[in-house]
Amino acid sequence: MRIVHIANFYGSTSGGIKTTIHELGRGYQRYGHDFIYIVPGPRFFQEKTPFGTRIELPGRTLPFTGGYQVIKSNKQIITLLEFLKPDRLEVSDRFTLFKVGKWAKQMKISTVVFSHETLAGITKKFVPFLPGALRNLFVNYQNRKLSKIFDQIVVTTDFAGQEFKKIGVPNLVKASLGVDLEGFNPKLFDPKLKRQLKNGADYLLVYCGRLSPEKEPQRVLEAVAELQKRGLRVQVVVIGGGSMWNKFRKAGQGLPVNMLGYVASREKIAQHLACADVVIAPGPLETFCLSALETLASGVPVVASASSAVGEILGVATNTQSGLIAENTGIAFAGAIEEVLLNNSFKHNARAQAENYSWGNTIDQMLTIHKAKPAMATARRRLRAA
């Protein structure tokens, strides 16, 4: 089977979407399927990768996003798809690729669209002046439209599915994402690196993500300032870049903040996460947050926004919670961070919680959604029968 995945916002500095596409490609190929992913780039480009064939189509950079791009022409995408002749089509942008979905429906090609964002949350944050009733009408209209154009809508958490369940969308499915349990591991803890990163402080906090408005990274600075008032000696390491880099740096002057910028090496990121005492995930609109799951796999607890899906991943409603959630204020985050720092049970639960998630399970779920029998397993059964 040939599976083609189209994704905007994919680039050298993108995190969760890129990781997800790569792991899907790796998994599909393991079962004998052909995987091609189409992403924006400076010009037409094609190459074989360990994750499948990557094809870049000319893209345009979106302002105020830290360099993220979208493919310029849906017509060009459709022309390419006519040549590729996919059996299944996956889409990772629910906003700009409706035309592609309509083409696939006409061609009777099965489609899934990943809802990586909560439209209700986005409109509430970025269009706050819109009356609530009007905002709900817009969100419901867009979500129904998405449901009609694509065969199935894939969400990764119950949180992400709430706005679709609310209107009774019939083609909603859930497929949790996974984590690299080998690449992110407590064994990567390095006491020498931790001493260096702590810079004389008692505790090491880490923020790993984009410095962009939807992530609300300023919450990290607000929490650190509050923790200092409470007499806690903390050092924060910030991994990531984005449109708010300069603003964040200026706001953090005088605070114990070390900004590393974008780090390309997954191994280096994993080492830093394993050294943290707490990782902060302040994004209020997260529908999954792979970096939080990678943190848990590293044996480190997380403090996250109460308005995001991360609480599901942390198991905050269970007796084995691996972190805490907080309201979107610096004081609330500081309180949750302090509680986690003083209670070792969160750290003890972190790795076990991450082990509930695997990319193998994700691939099985997606192949079920695609109604695609695992090719390798079928071949083995035939071999035994012979």
pLDDT tens digits for range 203-215: 999 999 999 898 9
Instruction: Report the pLDDT value the prediction gives residue 384, as an integer from 0 to 100.
Output: 36
The position carrying tokens 């035939």 is 382
* pLDDT at position 329: 98
Region 39-61: what's the mean pLDDT?
A: 94
pLDDT at 373 > cutoff 70:
no
Q: Is the pLDDT of residue 12 over 80?
A: no
- Do 14 and 93 belong to one domain? yes
16 vs 191, residue with greater confidence: 191
Q: Are residues 196 and 150 in the same domain?
A: no
Average pLDDT for 151-179: 96
Query: Pick the residue with more confidence: 91 or 375?
Result: 91
Answer yes or no: do 340 and 198 share one domain.
yes
Residue 380 has pLDDT above 90, yes or no: no
Other Cβ atoms within 10 Å of 369 Cβ, number? 18
- What is the model's pLDDT at position 173? 97
**273 in Cβ contact with 300 (< 8 Å):** yes
- From residue 178, give the alpha-carbon distance in Å to each of 208, 307, 359: 18, 22, 4
Three-state secondary structure string covering 282-343:
CCCCCCCCHHHHHHHHCCCCEEEECCCCHHHHHCCCCCCCCEEEECCCHHHHHHHHHHHHCC
Angle, CA 186 vertex, CA 184 and CA 187 arms, to 5°: 100
Cα–Cα distance, 31 to 51 (Å, whole number): 13
- Whether residues 332 and 295 share a domain: the answer is yes
pTM above 0.85, yes or no: yes
Confidence band for 66, pLDDT divided at 50, 70 and 90: low
Question: 169 and 197: one domain?
Answer: no
CB atoms within 10 A of CB 105: 16
Look at strands 257-261 and 45-49 and give their pairing. unpaired
Residue-wise pLDDT tens digits, 185-230: 999 999 999 999 999 999 999 999 999 898 999 999 999 999 999 9
Round to whole Å and give the CA distance between 191 and 186: 12
- What is the number of other CB atoms lying within 10 angstroms of the CB of residue 97? 25
Q: Which residues of 120-144 are buried (b: 16+ CB within 10 A; e: fewer)?
A: bbebbeeeeeeeeeebbeebbebbe
Contact status, residue 258 vs residue 239, Cβ threshold 8 Å: no
Least confident of 234-238, 300-304, 378-382: 378-382
Calculate mean pLDDT across residues 28-50: 96
> Around Cβ 225, how many Cβ atoms within 10 Å?
16
The verdict on 230 and 339 lying in the same domain is yes
* pLDDT over 70 (residue 37): yes
10 and 145 assigned to the same domain = yes
Mean residue pLDDT of the chain comes to 92
pLDDT score of 64: 60
Asked whether the predicted pLDDT for residue 132 surpasses 80, the reply is yes
Distance CA 256, CA 348 (A): 27
pLDDT digits (tens, 9 = 90+) for 253-284: 999 999 999 998 999 999 999 999 999 999 99
Q: How confident is the model at residue 383 (pLDDT cuts 50, 70, 90)?
A: very low
User: Where residue 118 sits, what CATH number does that domain have?
Assistant: 3.40.50.2000
Confidence of residue 149 (pLDDT cuts 50, 70, 90): very high
Sequence-distant (≥ 6) Cβ neighbours of residue 93 within 8 angstroms: 6, 7, 8, 9, 70
Mean pLDDT of 75-83: 97
Closest to 138 (Cα-Cα) out of 123, 157, 121: 123
Same domain, 336 and 206: yes
Q: How far is CA 266 from the centre of its chain?
A: 15
- Pair 377, 283 in one domain: no
Residue 38 has what pLDDT?
97
Domain total of the chain? 2
**Predicted local confidence at residue 355, as pLDDT:** 95
pLDDT at 95: 85
Higher pLDDT, 11 or 348: 348
Q: What is the pLDDT of residue 61?
A: 83
Q: Can you give the residue range of the structural domain that contains 304?
A: 186-354
Integer-rounded Cα radius of gyration of the chain = 21
Looking at the fold, whether 120 and 54 belong to one and the same domain comes out as yes
Q: What confidence category does residue 385 fall into, taking pLDDT thresholds of 50, 70 and 90?
A: very low
Percent of residues, the chain, with pLDDT higher than 70: 94
Same domain, 350 and 364: no
Q: Which one, of 74, 66, 11, lies nearest residue 40 by Cα?
A: 11
| 161 & 209 share domain | no
